[in-house]
């Protein structure tokens, strides 16, 4: 019965029992390392995702019989930065109408455009109850809206039944088709794509750059400090401010090293670039997630080498089923990644705005479907391959 569940809102993930939270992760085939208690707690403890940065943690928990049976990483947001499912035009429409859009509710992993479970639950009944509890919480709060970003189809169905609107999107993922090695992967590509990748890798070698991959505790503190220097360089190059800090990355290195991959590029023995990946080898479909990269000097094609080719080689070596290249970037098609549809779920309190967004989403859905069809026509693979 519904009243068997007890709802709790927690403002600091450090106050949530780590083992109880991670038990929900372990039991969920759609979970990933970004949902682990260690990752979410590091975001808050480092100051990256707090009220001061516009991310107020308000994790929603469901207990039954004193046990944690469902949970969602919920944040009150004062802006739309760091989300990668863009709603700036909705905020502008609210502003033009004299309405308040921020703060809003968001269920997501901060700064992380990785699809995965959002309604963590022991069973389907608890998941349905959690979807209802999220919506009830949003209604009672008086805030403008609730947004659940990049959930799996299972969560999408529960959210749709609760009354949320669905939004389509696209990302780019690489699938391991049982390749024996990188050359085997290249052999499945169209000739022009295969030739281009080989030429890009040759440019990096000819520039005197050597690549190394380090995993887990083999990544030393000096490596992390150099990586963070590269991370900052990327943000400076784009004239923007970094979301994360060195403390956050060092916390990950201490609490969940088994999920971390660092690609280091050196020239003349000195580090010149680094790329961070996060992986999970224990799930039914093991995945590698490309995350952050940076370089302290410009070297042609080094970005592609660090962020794609080294990651793909690692996935093949470790027999990982997928490499997720993240949001945006049709250039990833030429490097063997494919367009993959995504969805998000949205509820808006204002009836007229909800109707307007519903019409917008219907038009956008047709455009996304057409874009995916067009992207599929430009896949890197031979016509007869995968």
145 and 66 in a common domain: yes
28 and 164 in a common domain: yes
Looking at residue 1, its pLDDT comes to 41
The span from the CA of 382 to the CA of 337, in Å, is: 13
Residue 243 lies in a domain: yes
Residue 355 lies in a domain: yes
Looking at residue 232, its pLDDT comes to 97
165 and 185 in a common domain: no
Angle at 9 between CA 106 and CA 154, to 5 degrees: 50
189 and 163 in a common domain: no
What sections of the chain are H helices per DSSP? 18-26, 37-45, 88-96, 124-141, 153-161, 182-187, 191-206, 221-237, 246-255, 302-304, 310-317, 351-376
197 and 143 in a common domain: no
For the chain, what percent of residues have pLDDT higher than 70?
Answer: 98
Higher pLDDT, 203 or 29: 203
Q: Could you report the per-residue pLDDT of 327-361, keeping only the tens digit for each?
A: 777 789 999 999 999 999 999 999 999 999 999 99
164 and 185 in a common domain: no
198 and 159 in a common domain: no
Q: What is the mean pLDDT of residues 119-131?
A: 96
Cβ pair 145, 138 in contact under 8 A: yes
Residue 109 lies in a domain: yes
Provide the 3-class DSSP secondary structure of residue 369. Answer: helix
**Residue 97 structure tokens:** 């109408």
Q: What is the mean pLDDT of residues 40-58?
A: 97
Please state, as a whole number, how many other Cβ atoms lie within 10 Å of the Cβ of residue 34: 22
| Bridge partner list, 263 | 213, 275
What sections of 30-181 are H helices per DSSP? 37-45, 88-96, 124-141, 153-161
Residue 332 lies in a domain: no
Looking at residue 49, its pLDDT comes to 97
Predicted confidence (pLDDT) at residue 50 exceeds the cutoff of 50: yes
Predicted confidence (pLDDT) at residue 3 exceeds the cutoff of 70: no
Q: Could you report the per-residue pLDDT of 153-198, keeping only the tens digit for each?
A: 999 999 999 999 999 999 999 999 999 999 999 999 999 999 999 9
Q: Are strands 67-72 and 145-148 parallel, antiparallel or unpaired?
A: unpaired
- Closest by CA to 106, choosing from 129, 90, 95, is 90
- Give the helix/strand (H/E) hosting 70: strand 67-72
Provide the 3-class DSSP secondary structure of residue 24. Answer: helix
As a whole number of angstroms, the longest Cα–Cα distance in the chain is 67
293 and 206 in a common domain: yes
Q: What is the mean pLDDT of residues 306-328?
A: 94
Residue 227 lies in a domain: yes
181 and 165 in a common domain: no
Predicted confidence (pLDDT) at residue 2 exceeds the cutoff of 70: no
Q: What is the mean pLDDT of the chain?
A: 95
User: CATH number of the domain that 82 lies in?
Assistant: 3.40.630.30
The DSSP call for residue 305 is I
Task: Quickly state the pLDDT bin for 382 (edges 50, 70, 90).
Answer: confident
- Structural domain that includes position 103: 2-169+340-376
DSSP string, 245-288: -HHHHHHHHHH-GGGEEEEEEEETTEEEEEEEEEEESSSSS-EE
Q: What angle do the packed helices 37-45 and 246-255 form, to 10 degrees?
A: 150
21 and 154 in a common domain: yes
| Bridge partner list, 183 | none
350 and 289 in a common domain: no
94-122 burial, b if ≥16 CB within 10 A, otherwise e?
A: beeeeeebbbbbbbbbbbbbbbbbbbbbb
> Is the full-model pTM beyond 0.85?
yes
Cβ pair 272, 325 in contact under 8 A: no
Residue 46 lies in a domain: yes
Q: Could you report the per-residue pLDDT of 226-277, keeping only the tens digit for each?
A: 999 999 999 999 889 999 999 999 999 999 999 999 999 999 999 999 999 9
The DSSP call for residue 179 is -
The DSSP call for residue 381 is B
Residue 238 lies in a domain: yes
Q: What is the mean pLDDT of residues 363-384?
A: 91
Looking at residue 283, its pLDDT comes to 85
Cβ pair 145, 348 in contact under 8 A: yes
Q: What angle do the packed helices 124-141 and 153-161 form, to 10 degrees?
A: 50
Looking at residue 145, its pLDDT comes to 98
Residue 385 lies in a domain: no
């Amino acid at each position: 019965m519904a009243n068997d569940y007890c709802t709790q809102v927690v403002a600091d993930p450090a106050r949530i029992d780590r083992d109880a939270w991670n038990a929900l992760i372990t039991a969920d085939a759609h979970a990933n390392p970004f949902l682990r208690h260690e990752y979410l707690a590091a975001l808050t403890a480092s100051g990256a995702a707090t009220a001061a940065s516009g991310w107020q943690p308000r994790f929603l928990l469901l207990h039954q019989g004193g046990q944690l049976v469902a949970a969602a990483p919920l944040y009150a947001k004062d802006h739309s930065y760091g989300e990668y499912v863009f709603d700036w035009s909705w905020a502008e429409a609210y502003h033009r109408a004299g309405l308040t859009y921020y703060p809003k509710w968001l269920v997501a992993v901060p700064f992380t455009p990785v699809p995965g479970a959002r309604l963590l639950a022991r069973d389907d009944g608890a998941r349905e109850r959690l979807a209802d509890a999220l919506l009830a919480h949003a209604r009672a709060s008086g805030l403008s809206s609730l947004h659940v970003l990049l959930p799996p189809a299972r969560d999408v169905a529960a959210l749709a039944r609760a009354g949320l609107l669905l939004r389509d999107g696209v990302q780019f993922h690489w699938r391991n088709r049982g390749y024996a090695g990188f050359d085997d992967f290249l052999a499945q590509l169209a000739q022009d794509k295969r030739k281009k990748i080989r030429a890009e890798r040759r440019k990096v070698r000819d520039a005197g750059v050597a690549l190394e991959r380090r995993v887990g505790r083999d990544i030393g503190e000096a490596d992390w400090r150099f990586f963070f220097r590269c991370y900052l360089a990327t943000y400076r190059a784009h004239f923007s401010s970094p979301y994360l800090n060195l403390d956050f990355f060092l916390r990950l290195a201490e609490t969940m090293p088994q999920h971390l991959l660092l690609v280091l590029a050196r020239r003349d023995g000195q580090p010149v670039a680094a790329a961070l990946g996060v992986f999970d080898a224990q799930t039914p479909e093991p995945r590698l997630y490309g995350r952050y990269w940076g370089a302290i000097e410009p070297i042609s094609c080094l970005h592609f080498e660090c962020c794609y080719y080294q990651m793909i080689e690692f996935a093949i070596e470790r027999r990982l089923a997928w490499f997720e290249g993240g949001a945006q970037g049709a250039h990833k098609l030429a490097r063997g990644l494919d367009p993959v549809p995504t969805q998000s779920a949205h509820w808006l309190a204002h009836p007229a705005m909800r109707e307007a967004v519903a019409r917008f989403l219907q038009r956008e859905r047709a455009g996304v479907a057409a874009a995916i069809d067009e992207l599929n026509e430009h896949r890197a693979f031979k016509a007869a391959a995968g």
